[in-house]
Structures are given as C-alpha cells and as structure tokens.
Structure 1
C-alpha cells in the first residue's frame, strides 16, 4: 500500500508528496471549537476489497464551513486498525464559496507494493478512520478523529460449486463441494479460510430466488463438503457473508438435473 505524507498548507495544494510510514495515536472522539463544521464527508465506496496483486483506489471528498471562512483543511489521513497512517497520494482543494472549502483525497491500497514496509499487512484489515482538521480564519476548528470511517477488507474467493452425481435420481444423495480462500497480505497468496460458516443455497429450476439449505463450516484447508437429498432439479451454490476483515463472496453455481 502507498503510505504517503502530504505537504502542509491548504492540504498539499502544490501536490508535493513524500513516502513515509508512521504510527498514529489512538482514535478519539471528534473535537471542535465555535461554528466550524464539516458539512459533508463522502467515500467513493463503503468497503475497499483488496487482493494480493492489484491496487485498489479510494476517493474521499470533504467540505467544511465557517462563517469567517476556512483557512485550510489539514491531514486527510486514514488510520488503520493497527494504528498506521495512510496519507493520500493525490489531494486537491477548492473554495466553492467564501465560507467553505472542499478537499478531495485519493488513496491507493496495495498488498504488493514495491516498498516492503508500505505493503498492506493482515493486521490492517478492518475499519479505517479519517483524520482531518478544518481550521477557520477566526481560530475556530473542527477535527475528525473517528466519526468517519471506511472498511478495508481482505478479498475472498469461492471455487465453483461442484455437485455430484449429475444427473441424479430424485430422492438420492448429492455431494456438494467447494473451497473458501482469502488474500493473505503478508505473503501475497490466497490461503484457505478455516472454520468459517458458509451457506449452501439452492435455486429450483424455473425460479429466480436462492434459499439457504444449510450452513457448512470450512475445514483446516478452507474446503467445503456436505451431502443433501436431491428432491428437485436446480442450481446449487455456496455463499459466504464475509467478516469484519474479509469480503463476502458468492460462488458460481452448479446446475443439476434429475433423471
């Protein structure tokens, strides 16, 4: 992951950037003085799912207001669960009105950065908080410490669902298999995600809706295996709801006919 520091001033209006990794203080409640406020803070996505090779981008747009005008919006940092700081690799600020300032920050999340210390690590998966301060000309201010956040998760995969035998006689047993893996940011490979509950779902032929038949727990290698009774023709699939650190994923289904 690119972890950078921006030049001081009205949030690096010059675009000067330097590479750096830092430790952040523990998140605290927002603090403010006077009538300065952030009127809006938006994220381009609520969750950034990152694999082991391709970088993923996030854009944050924040607008602050004060009756005396905003002198600058400083920081624009994202703080990881293990207290590392990600600075934006691009930042621009404008003044839509005499009393407001709008800043746009762009971040890049990468588990395979050329700089080893800048890579994403597994401990950084979870909730990241935006840290920024709007300072007004009359010395009022508003500091975002923990109220705005985004999820950065390890990307998960499910292999294509396999149901056999195909076709199957009505009332006979089907064996359904699959495997759940997720990105290991420390080693840049996908590894079996163990002890996870995964839903086995079925969609009857002619229907557009899947229903959960049972939940199955992955084994020590992330593999899934269970048996069901084939009462109708249709499609079987695995569906993982995700966790606080790992993305949800739905497998490609396997259609099984009756004979």
Structure 2
C-alpha cells in the first residue's frame, strides 16, 4: 500500500456495518494491530450524472503500544479506479486506539482522473493501513466492501384509458433510464425485467401483476384487464451495478 498523509475535516451520521473477517487474499498484518470497527455512512452509494455523492468511512484501530496513525485511506473501484479521501478527522479515544473519519466524494461530472466511468460501478473497497508505535501494522485491503451504483429512474406510470369500463383493457406504459457516467446523461436501460404492480382502491398494499422487459430504448408497454378501480405502478429491483427504482403510480377509476 502506498502511504499517504491526510488532512482534517468533519463527518455525518453513520450506519454501522459488521466488520468482516480479514481476507485471506489481500489483508496483511503484523503483531497485535487490528481494526476494531469499521462503518460506512451508506451501504450503497447511488450516483447520477450531475450531483456529487458523499461517503463517510469511520475506522478505529488498536494496538497494545498505541496506534501511530491510519494511513493511505482510499476507495478502490470495480475497475481499479482510486479515489482518495478528501478529508479526514482523527482522534485518540484511548492510549491504544486511533479513530479516523474519512470523507470521500463520488462524482460522474468531472474532467479529471476522479471522474466516474460506467466500468467503475459495482463493488468497491475501502483500504487503509493502521501503523502501531512498535512497528506492528494492519493493512486493510479486501474486507471492507461498499456498493457504488449507477442511478436509475422510472418515469411516472401511465395507464389508459381513464376511466375504464369494468372488464375493459388497460394499456400501461413507462420508461426505465439510468445514469451513463461516460456521457453524463440518462439513457434508456434495455433488456431489464420490470415489475408491474397494482393496488386496489382502499388498500395500502401493492401486489405483483406481471413482469415486463424493457425494449431497446428502455420503454415498457403491456395490457391488463381492469376489474376494479385502483393504482398501477412500475418497480425495478436493480442490478449489481444499478440501483432500485419505483415509479409514481397512476390511479384509474371505473366508469
């Protein structure tokens, strides 16, 4: 790991994650140095095409001789792109521990190396090295994953005709798009299974009606039989590189 110094700054609220066991493939250590806790402000970071997203990582390391510092904090993407922490705030809770809060900015709308690319989406890893006063260390490489995904959107559901005769046929349409980090624009997401759901008037629960696959432009179109008044909507479960999305529903009355 390349050692890199950090600067100071503040942080936000955290969502605690279970600290994973050291990876047999990449993590390395010497002596009794250990990371006692690790937490991320978000388990998944969904990034669009213009608004930057922030991820905060809090790491606590311990060694019997005390921790000199936590060095080299960075995020490594699925395509080996490296994002260094923009700031860090480190304290010493006890004589043997060091706590550092690192703040990262993820942005697809940049003109430098830190600009996200489509190939960057997927599982990222936080890496850092805790160095002890007695020369011991813990090199964290593979055991701190976080998901960074392309932001997806479902256009408002459209069902017609409105109102519809009982037993009549409704045509339900929609469009699924997702962020293209290479072009900084949203584009139709083709070949994706999207679920059509229905909620009967007076009910608070949606039920699955069918799954429909988006066409080459990300568009959705299907027909259903209208047996009662209610609301129709599309919902997308997401993928390993793209977040979930749910469209606003369209309420249809009977005539």
Q: Scaled by the length of structure 1, what TM-score is found?
A: 0.89
Residue 163 (str. 1) matches residue 153 (str. 2): no
| Aligned-partner Cα distance in 1 for 2:118–2:181 | 5
| 1:118 alignment partner, SS class | coil
- Offset, 1:152: 0.7
Per the alignment, residue 121 of structure 2 pairs with: 125
Q: 1:201 aligns with which of 197, 203, 222?
A: 197
| 1:247 alignment partner, SS class | coil
Does the 8 A contact of 2:8 with 2:90 survive in 1? no
- Offset, 1:59: 0.5
| Aligned-partner Cα distance in 2 for 1:12–1:187 | 32
Unaligned runs of 5+ in 2: 10-23
- Offset, 1:125: 0.6
Q: 2:106 aligns with which of 94, 106, 109?
A: 109
- Offset, 1:92: 1.9
Over 3 Å counting, the alpha-carbon distance change for 1:95 and 1:145 in structure 2 is same
For these two proteins, the number of residue pairs brought into alignment is 240
| 1:161-180: CA deviation from partner (whole Å, max 9, x where unpaired) | 00001111111111000000
Per the alignment, residue 30 of structure 1 pairs with: 27
| 1:35-66: CA deviation from partner (whole Å, max 9, x where unpaired) | 11111110000011111111111100000001
- Offset, 1:232: 1.2
Per the alignment, residue 87 of structure 1 pairs with: 84
Per the alignment, residue 135 of structure 1 pairs with: 131
Per the alignment, residue 253 of structure 1 pairs with: 249
Over 3 Å counting, the alpha-carbon distance change for 1:14 and 1:160 in structure 2 is closer
| Aligned-partner Cα distance in 2 for 1:50–1:126 | 12
Per the alignment, residue 173 of structure 1 pairs with: 169
| Aligned-partner Cα distance in 2 for 1:153–1:93 | 29
Over 3 Å counting, the alpha-carbon distance change for 1:165 and 1:158 in structure 2 is same
Per the alignment, residue 186 of structure 1 pairs with: 182
| Aligned-partner Cα distance in 1 for 2:8–2:160 | 62
- Offset, 1:116: 3.9
Does the 8 A contact of 2:82 with 2:114 survive in 1? no
Question: Which stretch of the first structure deviates more once superposed, 227-236 or 131-140?
Answer: 131-140
Residue 224 (str. 1) matches residue 216 (str. 2): no
Q: Counterparts in 2 of 1:140-159, with a 5 A limit? A: 140-159=136-155
Runs of 4+ in 1 over 2 A off after TM superposition: 115-118
| Aligned-partner Cα distance in 2 for 1:134–1:111 | 30
Q: Scaled by the length of structure 2, what TM-score is found?
A: 0.91
